Structure 1
Amino acid sequence: MLSSQFSFYSSRKHSFAMAMKLCSLVGTCRRFQPHILMVFAQIVYSFLYFITEASFDHGMNPHVYITYRHTLAGIMMLPFAYFLERKIRPKLTVALFLEIFVLSLLGVSLTLNMYFASLKFTSPTFLASMINTIASVTFVLAVILRLEVIELRNPRGIAKVLGTLVSLAGVMTMTLFKGPILKNLWRPIIHLQGGNTVMQDDWLKGSVLTVSSCITWSIWYIMQAYTLKRYPAQLSLTTWMNFVGAAQSAVFTVIAHHKRADWTIGFNIDFWSTIYGGVVISGMVTLIQLWCTGQKGPVFVTMFNPLSTLLVAILAYFVLGEKLYLGSIVGGVIVIFGLYLLLWGKKNDHEAPMSADEEGIPQLEDPKKLNFSSEAKYVSGEP
């Protein structure tokens, strides 16, 4: 009898211990959920450069790709936005639609058309490195608009300025200095047609397009803070941006390119790159970044961009045999160093004042008091 009771209590004690460990594990996962999701997002995003480069080398028009990709993303997100945000979606006025129109221009059609067009003249490693400059450019624009305060008497304030200047120096290095080619150690495991046989003039053209896209991208980050104050429905706003951005891209493509053949894609790499970009990147990854930015702020999201840069460089060099230039490597390292110097300077920034509405959606008290810190809880995302 005593033996059976002892066995019963021992088993209950063991079950209780296992339950506590499980609760602890679940709590840890919840605590680091934004970190885990952002690592996953960067891994998934790294493959985008190569599948789109393969598609463009196959002959797909980059502007048609943007149109199809965001149309697909909008169709995929429409039912979720319609049913899940009925109560928090405000009425769409003409002024608000014009604001979404500009937001779509900055975040989808203009930015991504420049960004992916530059891929034909540069390389995936170069583009992945340039993404890291968005945090610095956003910081500069925030200072110009008086949304960010710099305290030069504070070491962290000095770090913000130095980090921005260092990042911009890295951009100039990657743009203006190509340098010698690093020799590949072995034959590429996977070979992409087209390669990296671009001329110096094309490289400069691609660099200008990439830098311009990063600037408009940064403006988009800032503008979202204001738009989401008036239109807090994240899914609905993303859906609108996908559809409006796709329409803008379609109009531009029709004006700039008159070949009907560009609009026809077969069941090949062009089809799969569109599916991957629309469903995985513009759909799933964008939602992950929106949620993580809402939890931790946009600077937290930009902290993970160097991970994608590292993954792209490793895949490009060791797997695809991409020709790496010394200027890209040196400039990329400088940009990443400047980025983390900037993030260290912003580490102790205070949160923007927030209030919660009846639906529990965080709202900014005053747009003029926006603080672009890692703890700010307005929402933005990466296209």
Structure 2
Amino acid sequence: MAWRSWRNYYKDVAPFTVLVAMEFIIAGLNTLFKAATLTGMSYHVFMVYDYAFAALLLLPAPFFSYRSSVLPPLGFPVLRKIGLLALIGISCQITGYTGLIYSSPTLSSVMANLMPAFTFILAIFFRMEELVWSRSSSKAKVMGTIISITGALVVTLYKGPPIFKASKPSMSFHQPLNSFGVDSNWVIGGAFFTAQFTLIPLWFVVLTQIMEEYPAELTVIFFYNFCVCFMALVVALVVERNASAWRTWSDIALASVVCWGIFSSCMNNTVHSWALRLKGPVYVAMFKPFSTVAASALGIIFLGETPHLGSLIGATTISIGFYTVMWGKAKEATLEDSGSGSSNSTTVDPPSSQKVPLLQSYKNRTSVEPVH
């Protein structure tokens, strides 16, 4: 009984808890990064230092994986997929950082609510989700996806009047916060965030396939960080011709590099790898709306952001779409559970038509227990 309780905690409670916590942490990191860029920090150089620091933290991981007798060999096919993952990841980071410079962490978190919809679309394309028009659950998922995209268009194209005037920010910077506060830059920021949150679901799908072949989170993320660091270095050497951009900046910029290296490039990526192996990409993407409230509060308190009506309407619309998709997912899971329960009463083996999660296929091919 104790073992069953621990197993249920590991598979259900633990992923929920850590994913919620990571969304609040990422919202805080976005606020810290926005503050650092206002001091003149180059985000291209920031990426090099960030991923180099994260790779250094995870440097011992490949040694333990190499000595492990339960892991499959780390061959070229897996390394090639990690390289593809790094290419997608650096594209996500560049578009995300550019969006933050043009707009705000609040807009980033609001637009992040698009991820469940985009992940659902990609999951259908990669045959990881089933779409049956005769089922209300499928109709709800499609309708929720359309509503979420509509909300994203609202929050991007309509800023609206301020809801209330924020108080003076608790941090002071050399550059005023609203230097990019015109509507054109808000739209540009929203466009970059749309690109970012279209690429992240693809990142989830590729990482899910990597974890299926090589279920060692720390080692995979080490090679991922190393590849992204190398790619970011090439980009930074081309873009940043001024040598002064490579020097250490203010205290808040240095703190941003360290915090991003520890909590995002290292911890967040490792947590997502582990959760993707257990639950799949759609489950992981559904936690993005938790960051909206945290980012809004941090932006108002620390950056002096003024909340606008467009953000409120768009966030509400996206949330409605998000929970519509999740209702469809929950109803679908209930139908699958009841179907598997009735079939198990007559036979031990599941029917061939029963849907098998993507992350389960590695376990079906080997009897080796997953490595944590």
Q: In 2, distance between residues paired with 1:98 and 1:216? A: 18
Aligned residues: 342
1:309 and 2:292 matched: yes
Shift of 1:331: 1.0
Q: Of 203, 206, 231, which residue of structure 2 is paired with 1:220?
A: 203
Q: Of 146, 155, 159, which residue of structure 1 is paired with 2:140?
A: 159
With normalisation by structure 2, the TM-score equals 0.83
Q: In 2, distance between residues paired with 1:308 and 1:154? A: 31
- Which residue is 2:230 aligned to? 247
Structure 1 SS opposite 2:59 = helix
Deviates more, 1:65-74 or 1:27-36: 27-36
C-alpha contact (below 8 Å) 2:28/2:298 kept by paired residues: no
Shift of 1:341: 1.0
1:341 and 2:324 matched: yes
Q: CA RMSD in A?
A: 2.8
Distance 1:25 1:148, change over 3 A: closer
- Which residue is 2:85 aligned to? 103
1:51 and 2:60 matched: no
Distance 1:155 1:210, change over 3 A: same
Shift of 1:173: 1.0
Structure 1 SS opposite 2:178 = coil
- Which residue is 1:71 aligned to? 52
- Which residue is 2:67 aligned to? 86
Q: Identity percentage over the alignment?
A: 26
After superposition, where does 1:92-131 map in structure 2 within 5 Å? 92-107=74-89, 109-131=90-112
Q: In 1, distance between residues paired with 2:273 and 2:286? A: 15
Distance 1:186 1:245, change over 3 A: closer
Structure 1 SS opposite 2:101 = coil
C-alpha contact (below 8 Å) 1:128/1:312 kept by paired residues: yes
1:142 and 2:123 matched: yes
Q: Where does the alignment leave 5 or more consecutive residues of structure 2 unmatched?
A: 337-355
After superposition, where does 1:4-43 map in structure 2 within 5 Å? 32-43=13-24
Shift of 1:189: 3.7
With normalisation by structure 1, the TM-score equals 0.81
C-alpha contact (below 8 Å) 1:85/1:233 kept by paired residues: no
- Which residue is 2:153 aligned to? 172
C-alpha contact (below 8 Å) 2:299/2:305 kept by paired residues: yes
Deviations 1:119-172 (A, max 9, x none): 110111000111121121111122234432211111111111001101111111
Q: In 1, distance between residues paired with 2:37 and 2:166? A: 27
C-alpha contact (below 8 Å) 2:275/2:284 kept by paired residues: yes
- Which residue is 1:15 aligned to? none
C-alpha contact (below 8 Å) 2:23/2:288 kept by paired residues: yes
C-alpha contact (below 8 Å) 2:61/2:222 kept by paired residues: no
Q: Of 151, 172, 178, which residue of structure 2 is paired with 1:196?
A: 178
Deviations 1:184-204 (A, max 9, x none): 264444445431332332222
Q: In 1, distance between residues paired with 2:217 and 2:166? A: 46
Shift of 1:26: 8.2
Shift of 1:234: 1.9
